[in-house]
Structure 1
C-alpha cells in the first residue's frame, strides 16, 4: 500500500434511488419512520388536481424532530443509533422512498421544546451536490398548525411529495379516476397486510384520504383495516400449524407452518383482490412488520397444489444470518445457510419441511375433489316395478310434493310417448308394448324401458308449468322415439 484515499459518493446516485419502490412499498417505508418516531396515528393523504395525483402527504403524531435531527434525517446514508425494535435499517429509506416517486421532498417537523422546522430537497439539485433547503420558521409553524388539525397532536412530522412522477398522465378523465381508485385500493391492501399486527393490536391507526387538493382539509380519512394472511377460522389440516425448527451451528429459527382450509376465498387468503394461490410461501416479520408477503424464494417451487401453504417466520435474529433484508423492505434474500438448514429442519414429531409441503398438497387435492350433489327428482309411482322404484329412491333424493306415473295407452301410430303434464303421467303407446313386454303384460312391465324414459323426461314434470324449452324437448322426443320404434318393428320383421 502506498497511500489511503477517501472516495466520496457521487451525488448522481440519487437518480437511481428508489427505482425498485412501488407506490405502496414507498409509503410503507415512510410509515416505518413514523413508527420509529413513536407515532400511533398516521394520516396518508393522496391529493389530486382534476383527478390527477399531484401530492402525497404522510403525517404522524410521533416525537418530531428539531433542527439537528431534521438535518440528519435528510442526509443520505446517515445511520442513527437504531433501537432493537426500530424498523429503520439503512439510513436511506425516506429519501429512496420519496425520490422513487417525486422530484420534491419536503419535511416539516415539530418537537416538544423546539422550534418547528422545515427542510426541502429538490431531486435535481440533490443529485448534483446533496444540497438541501432550509425553510422558514413561519412556514414551519403553519405546517405545524396544519398537522395539529389532521392528527390532533402538538408534535409530529409531515412528509410531503410534490412534482410526482407516479401518476396517470393521459388525457382521459375516466382513466385517471380509475387509476386513482386502483392506487387507493392497492395502498389500503398493502398497508393493511404489512402492518396488520400493529393495527389489530390497536397500537397503530392509519387512515387514507383521497381528495382534491383544494378541499382536502375539509375531508376525513378512512381507516385502514388489518388484513391477516393467517386469518383463517379453522386450519385446513388438523395437525397444523406446526413448528418446524431449522438449525445451523448454534443458531436456529422456528418456521410456523400453516395450511389454509381449501375452497376458502376471503380477504387474507386473497390479497389486493388477487387470488390466494399467488400468496403461498414465506411471510417474514420484523417487529410485527411484515417484510415479505409470500413467495418461496427459490427454496421450493410454486404450484397450484401448494396454494394453501403459508409459512410464518417472525424471529428478528433470522435477519442478518439466515436472511438479508433489502432497502425497500419488500422481500428478503435467503442465504445459503438458510437453505442448508431448511433441508434438515424438522418438527418435534419428525415432520420435515418437504413433508409439510406434501401435506399441504394432499389437503388441497382432497378438498377439491368434486362432490356430486344430485338434485331431487319427482318420485316414481304407478308403472314402476318395486325394485326399480327402490333403486331410484336409493340413488336420488325425491320431491315428495308430487309423483310420476309411467303407463301404457293407445296412441296414434308412429307416436311412442305422450306427456300428460296435468296428471303427472307419461303415456307409452300400447301399440308397441309387445316389443318391450312380449310375454307378460303387467302394470310394472318393461322396467328397462321405463327407467330410461324416467331419466330422460323427469325434469319436465318437476316444473310449475311447461316452458318453451320443455315443449321443444317433448316434440324432439316424440319425433326421435317415434322413428326409433318404427325402425325397431322393421328390424324384427313385424
Structure 2
C-alpha cells in the first residue's frame, strides 16, 4: 500500500548487462547437470551429452533429450531471462535462469532446437554479446529445426525433445600442446561422469533415467556411440560401520519437522561412492541434500559441525521437500545450500527415538573410525627386493611391507625358450624374465632396473614362493600356473603389437 509520501510509481527494467555475470559460479559439471534438470522436468528418460572436439580441443557441447519438447511460444519463454513458469512439486527447475546461467558460464553462443508433438520444430539462438545489450534472441528457420530433429532422432531414438548446444566455448584448454589437450579432455570427461553419476544416482539406479556421454571429434561424432553414466551411490556400503546405524534423528522448530537419516560408513573401505571422482572419502563427510531424488549437496557440514579425519565415516541424508525454503535455501546453481538459523536451532535439540542426539551421532562415527584403525592387521614380512628393482620401487616396498632381512630376491632378464615368460630359480632366489620379450616393456634399451611396473607385479605375485624353506607341492603348482598363463599373455601381447 502506498504511503502519503509517494508521488509516483515507476518500473525499473533490469539492465541487460547483468548477463555478463550469469553462470560465474558454475563449473562445467554443475552447468551440464543444470541442463539435465531441465531435461528431466520435460519428462526425458534418455539424455545424450556430447563433448565435441577439434584437434582434441573441446569446441562444442550438446545436451540432447527425448522429453516433451517445446513449441514456439514455450521456446521464447525458455530463452527469456528470469521467466518463471508454473513449477510443479516434482520439477527441479526453480529460478527461471538455469539454462541461460549454465550456458553463458561456459559459452558465448547458446542454440536451442526443440520439437513437440503437434507443433512445428523450432530453433532459437542467443549470442551472449547481443543478449547482454538488449536481451535479443534469434529465431531460426523451421528447416534447420527439422534437421536438428533428424539429428536428435539418430542420437536418442526420438525426434521429439530438445537439443541445447553451446558453441564459442570459454574456459577450455587453449594451449598448443596436443598431449595437454588430450589430458584436459580426459580429465573433464572423468569429472563430468563422476558428477552426473553421483548427482543423479538414484534416478539412474531406478532405471528411470539414462545419461550417456560421447567425446569425439566433431567430424566423426555422427558415427560415435555414447557410453552410459554409471550411478555412484554415496551410501552404497554393503554393511554399516556401526550396528545401530543408519538412524533417524528428528529436528523440529516452529511447528516444522524434518528427519535426518544418519549413516556411518564401515572403516577401511575405499570404494567408489565413499571415494568420489578419485578424491578420498574424508572430503565427503557431512550432509547429502536431495530434492526429488536429485542430489543438491555432496557432503560438507555447512558450519553446523566441523570436518575432521575422525568424522570421515559420517554422512547424513536429508531428502524432505519441505526443508528447502524453510530450514534450507537453495542457490541458483544448485551446488550446495545455505543452512538457515532455524535449522541450527532445531539441530541442537534433535533426537532419535532412542534419545540419540546429533552430537552423540558424531561421537559414534568418530569412535567407529578410531576402532577401525585400531583393528588394522599387521602385514606379513616379505623377502627383501634386491637386484633388478628400481630404487623408487624398492623404497616403496620397504615402506609398505616389513622385510625379511635374512634373504633377498632378484628379478633379472635372461634368454628363455620362446613362449615362456618367467622361470623360478629357487636356489639362487632369482626370478628370471625372458629377455626375448624385454622390448615390449623396456623399448628404450633396457637397464638393470627397467620395467618397474612389470617387476612390481611379478614381485607381488611370486614373493611367497621364495620365502619358504623349500618348494612344496602347492608352490610347484602355482609356478606351473604362472608360467602357462604369463607365457600365453606375453605371446598375445607380442601378437597385438604386430611383432
* TM-score in terms of structure 1 length: 0.76
- The yes-or-no answer on 1:286 pairing with 2:284 is no
Query: Would you say how many aligned residue pairs link Structure 1 and Structure 2?
Result: 384
- In structure 1, the partner of 2:66 is 61
- How much does 1:288 deviate? 0.2
Aligned CA distance change for structure 1 residues 299 and 374 (closer, same or farther; 3 Å): closer
Measured in 2, the distance between the counterparts of 1:374 and 1:139 equals 66
Measured in 2, the distance between the counterparts of 1:270 and 1:371 equals 20
Q: Post-superposition, which runs of at least 4 consecutive aligned residues in structure 1 deviate over 2 A? A: 370-377, 461-465
- The yes-or-no answer on 1:6 pairing with 2:11 is yes
- The yes-or-no answer on 1:235 pairing with 2:260 is no
- The yes-or-no answer on 1:316 pairing with 2:321 is yes
- The yes-or-no answer on 1:331 pairing with 2:336 is yes
- The yes-or-no answer on 1:341 pairing with 2:359 is no
Question: What secondary structure sits across from 2:374 in the alignment?
Answer: coil
- The yes-or-no answer on 1:81 pairing with 2:86 is yes
Instruction: Indicate which of 20, 25, 30 corresponds to 2:25.
Output: 20
Instruction: Indicate which of 109, 115, 123 corresponds to 1:110.
Output: 115
Q: Residue deviations 1:133-172, cap 9 Å, x none?
A: 0000110000111000001113000000000002101111
- Consecutive unaligned residues of structure 2, counting only runs of 5 or more, are 1-5, 383-426, 428-465, 471-499
- In structure 1, the partner of 2:208 is 203
- In structure 2, the partner of 1:216 is 221
Measured in 2, the distance between the counterparts of 1:158 and 1:120 equals 12
- How much does 1:375 deviate? 4.6
- In structure 1, the partner of 2:98 is 93
Measured in 1, the distance between the counterparts of 2:131 and 2:159 equals 31
Instruction: Indicate which of 238, 246, 257 corresponds to 1:252.
Output: 257
- In structure 2, the partner of 1:175 is 180
Aligned CA distance change for structure 1 residues 462 and 228 (closer, same or farther; 3 Å): closer
Instruction: Indicate which of 129, 148, 152 corresponds to 1:143.
Output: 148
Larger Rg: 1
- The yes-or-no answer on 1:40 pairing with 2:45 is yes
- The yes-or-no answer on 1:153 pairing with 2:158 is yes
Measured in 1, the distance between the counterparts of 2:9 and 2:97 equals 27
Question: What secondary structure sits across from 2:239 in the alignment?
Answer: coil
* TM-score in terms of structure 2 length: 0.76
- In structure 2, the partner of 1:394 is none
Mean CA deviation greater in 368-377 or 27-36: 368-377
Aligned counterparts, 1:357-436, within 5 A: 357-369=362-374, 371-373=376-378, 375=380
Measured in 2, the distance between the counterparts of 1:304 and 1:38 equals 41
- How much does 1:464 deviate? 4.8
Q: Residue deviations 1:314-368, cap 9 Å, x none?
A: 0000000000000000100000000000000000000000000000000000000
- The yes-or-no answer on 1:163 pairing with 2:162 is no
Measured in 2, the distance between the counterparts of 1:352 and 1:370 equals 27
Measured in 2, the distance between the counterparts of 1:372 and 1:160 equals 54
Question: What secondary structure sits across from 1:368 in the alignment?
Answer: helix
- How much does 1:2 deviate? 1.7
- How much does 1:372 deviate? 5.0
Aligned CA distance change for structure 1 residues 167 and 114 (closer, same or farther; 3 Å): same
Q: Residue deviations 1:362-406, cap 9 Å, x none?
A: 0000000154547599xxxxxxxxxxxxxxxxxxxxxxxxxxxxx
